[in-house]
Chain A
Amino acid sequence: MPGLTAANGSVLAEAASVCLEDQSHHTGVIVVVDGSQADNLTLTWDAVTDQQRRTYADLQEATEWGACGIGIIAVCKQTGQVVVERSRKGTGFDYWFGEEDDDLFQNKTRFESSGILNGDGSVIGTRVKQKLEQVKASSHTGTPAYVSVVEFSGPRARVVIGK
């Protein structure tokens, strides 16, 4: 993907595997996706090493990064689009889906991701609501968005394809 280097993709994948193992899941686990489209994602990874566990000891950060990685896979699968750009935001990056062209961030779809290490359906619902509220303003001004919330204890994900 033009907007997702191998290095950045590895970080998101490793963070996701640390969070999944923290929640006692093993390679081959199925993430149940609901929202705009029901789907299942099968995730496989190499067993997490102690070094990786130490690297991603900040589980708050790892949860956000790992959720972002899983959300990107879910959106790619549902829309057929890829990440074309990213920019620095918060403790990580924000990502943009669309076609690669010369127009940096123009006519691209914003990807809004959030992660929950361990929470129930109501927590997921509240988080999706918050994210949709956050992007609602931009939809009026022409910036569409995909919203993804991943919960690791299930594991499950809700992906809402906006405008």
Chain B
Amino acid sequence: MNHTKDLHRAAMQLLDDALAARQRGDMEQSMSLQKLALEKERAAADSVAGNLDQEPTRSILHRSAATIALDAGEYALAEHLICRALIGRPTSDIAEELRDLLEQVYFRRHLSLRGIELENDEFQMSISGTDVGYGITRTDTFLQRVSSVEKLLYRTAERKLQRPYRSAGAVAKKFKDELEVYLSVPRAASFAVSFKLGRSLQIQFEGLSFAERVVDEVLECFSIFNSARERELRERIPDPAYYTNFVGLARSIAPDGKEIKVVGFTSVRQGKAQEVALTLDQSRVPLQMLTAVPPTPGGEPPRVRVEGRLAFADALRPDKSQIKVSPAKGRPVTIIVPEGMMDDIVRPLWDTDVIVTAVRDGKDLKLVEIDPASADSNDADSEPI
């Protein structure tokens, strides 16, 4: 056991060194140290592989080695280590983590294009999780995300063209003709589909394709969103309405942490695949990231959570759009909807049961996030208003 312990501790030390190199910006050194750590941790796992009773040591070392292998892009090795761990007798919680890790390994494989050739104005979206089988998924899980991605593409295109935020009405026909969004036939990966933006002959950006610029912008903003880099995102999208709209739509596309674990996007630039994996659960998006304006330091307003039927939406006053949510007991609650949320995020939930988080602003309640109420959300009681 001492030999195993020495190998494991050497691996952990090498990972510390790899992280330090990454923080210095020395990615080459970081990757090289990570490979050395993988060799040591794999050797530690190998040393206990034959002893099925040596739990939880056996499964933890395998999980650890598999995680390093996944980070290093050694997917086949990660898969082998996870499967070998599961053949043993891991405790149920570690077995569950091993299965989650296996999903990530497969998802990484599915992010790769596997023979699909993407043009510069296309990108692939893949989803994975318990709601997704090989080439099959629940329609609402999938269609809602497709719809949000389409909205995001048009909003991003309008923003890049410096058009004022469109609070009401559909995308202008002329604009839609210029930048039509096409969807491929879904294919078996985890569950994947390609989006293609029509080539605009009218709109060019310094000789670059406008569609390519829009795709790049969406994927880069997804990456910032996934890392919760709120300030960077606000700098990138300074218009509060566009900002609120982006984070609201990105949150609706992000994994729910239960049925959908990862949503990935792949595009191709100069012949190389570029991947963004959205892993930030909807429930873990920091609330301060979701508010239209940054909260003042130390002045966090009180929050209110309301569950009920979204029964009323009034967008007649663009400066003060509001909704009413009717809880099962008590009076309907009026909530102000910030610009950027009504059309794309609130309206699709009209006449359904929702869970709303709002912040108090004087006498008003201002909407921060709204989600469909799931069947198992009976612990989400409304808080007193």
State the A residues within 8 Å of B (CB): 5, 7-8, 11, 24, 55, 57-61, 63, 85-90, 93, 102-106, 116-120, 122, 126, 134-135, 137-138, 140-143, 153
State the Cβ distance, B222 to closest chain A Cβ, in Å.
13
Is B320 positioned at the interface, with any CB of A under 8 Å from its CB?
no
Q: Check A59/B229 contact, CB under 8 A, given A5-B16, A24-B297, A89-B63.
A: yes
Are A89 and B97 in contact, CB atoms less than 8 angstroms apart?
A: yes
Is B19 positioned at the interface, with any CB of A under 8 Å from its CB?
yes
Interface residue tally for chain B (C-beta within 8 Å): 50
Q: Within 8 Å CB of B97, what residues of A?
A: 89
State the Cβ distance, A144 to closest chain B Cβ, in Å.
11
Q: Within 8 Å CB of A60, what residues of B?
A: 226-228, 280, 284
Are A105 and B23 in contact, CB atoms less than 8 angstroms apart?
A: no
Q: Within 8 Å CB of B280, what residues of A?
A: 60
Q: Check A7/B92 contact, CB under 8 A, given A60-B284, A104-B57, A106-B57.
A: no
Partner of B96, one of A24, A93, A137, A153: A137
* A-B pairs with beta carbons under 8 Å apart, 6 shown: A5-B13, A58-B227, A60-B284, A104-B8, A104-B61, A106-B56
Partner of A87, one of B64, B229, B287, B298: B64
Q: Is the interface of B mostly helix, strand, loop or mixed?
A: helix
Are A120 and B303 in contact, CB atoms less than 8 angstroms apart?
A: yes
Are B92 and A140 in contact, CB atoms less than 8 angstroms apart?
A: yes
Bound-complex Cα distance A130 to B13 (A): 31
Are A7 and B16 in contact, CB atoms less than 8 angstroms apart?
A: yes
Are B67 and A89 in contact, CB atoms less than 8 angstroms apart?
A: yes
Is B283 positioned at the interface, with any CB of A under 8 Å from its CB?
yes
Partner of B5, one of A59, A104, A116, A141: A104
Is B334 positioned at the interface, with any CB of A under 8 Å from its CB?
no
Q: Within 8 Å CB of A88, what residues of B?
A: 11-12, 15, 41, 63-65, 67-68
Q: Tell me the nearest residue of chain B to A102, going by C-beta.
A: B1
Are B64 and A141 in contact, CB atoms less than 8 angstroms apart?
A: no
Q: Check A59/B16 contact, CB under 8 A, given A87-B61, A103-B1, A117-B288.
A: no
Q: Within 8 Å CB of B61, what residues of A?
A: 87, 104-105
Considering the complex, which residues of chain B in the window 223-264 have a beta carbon less than 8 Å from any beta carbon of chain A? 226-230, 232
Bound-complex Cα distance A137 to B92 (A): 6
Q: Mark B1-43, 1 if CB is under 8 A from A, else 0.
A: 1101100100111011101100100000000000000000100
Q: Within 8 Å CB of A5, what residues of B?
A: 12-13, 16
State the Cβ distance, B234 to closest chain A Cβ, in Å.
13
Q: Within 8 Å CB of B94, what residues of A?
A: 138
Q: Check A87/B93 contact, CB under 8 A, given A59-B227, A120-B303.
A: no
Are B286 and A102 in contact, CB atoms less than 8 angstroms apart?
A: no
Partner of A143, one of B4, B56, B96: B56
Are A104 and B63 in contact, CB atoms less than 8 angstroms apart?
A: no
Are B230 and A59 in contact, CB atoms less than 8 angstroms apart?
A: yes
State the Cβ distance, B65 to closest chain A Cβ, in Å.
8
Q: Within 8 Å CB of B283, what residues of A?
A: 126
Q: Within 8 Å CB of B288, what residues of A?
A: 117-118, 153
Q: For the A-B complex with A119-B287, A122-B383 known, give 19 more contacts whose Cβ atoms are closer than 8 Å.
A: A8-B12, A8-B16, A58-B228, A59-B228, A59-B229, A85-B8, A88-B64, A88-B68, A103-B1, A104-B1, A104-B61, A106-B56, A117-B228, A117-B286, A118-B287, A137-B91, A138-B92, A138-B93, A143-B91
B60, B91, B283: residue with the most chain A Cβ atoms closer than 10 Å: B60
State the Cβ distance, A14 to closest chain B Cβ, in Å.
9
Are B23 and A138 in contact, CB atoms less than 8 angstroms apart?
A: no
State the Cβ distance, B91 to closest chain A Cβ, in Å.
4
Q: Within 8 Å CB of A118, what residues of B?
A: 286-288, 295, 300
Is B305 positioned at the interface, with any CB of A under 8 Å from its CB?
yes
Bound-complex Cα distance A158 to B208 (A): 52
Bound-complex Cα distance A104 to B94 (A): 16
Are A102 and B2 in contact, CB atoms less than 8 angstroms apart?
A: yes
Are B298 and A24 in contact, CB atoms less than 8 angstroms apart?
A: yes
Bound-complex Cα distance A137 to B98 (A): 14
Q: Within 8 Å CB of B305, what residues of A?
A: 122
Are B20 and A7 in contact, CB atoms less than 8 angstroms apart?
A: yes
Q: Within 8 Å CB of B8, what residues of A?
A: 85, 87, 104
Are B1 and A135 in contact, CB atoms less than 8 angstroms apart?
A: no
Q: Within 8 Å CB of B64, what residues of A?
A: 87-89
Bound-complex Cα distance A85 to B12 (A): 10
State the Cβ distance, A147 to closest chain B Cβ, in Å.
12
Bound-complex Cα distance A85 to B300 (A): 38
Are B1 and A105 in contact, CB atoms less than 8 angstroms apart?
A: no
Q: Within 8 Å CB of B13, what residues of A?
A: 5
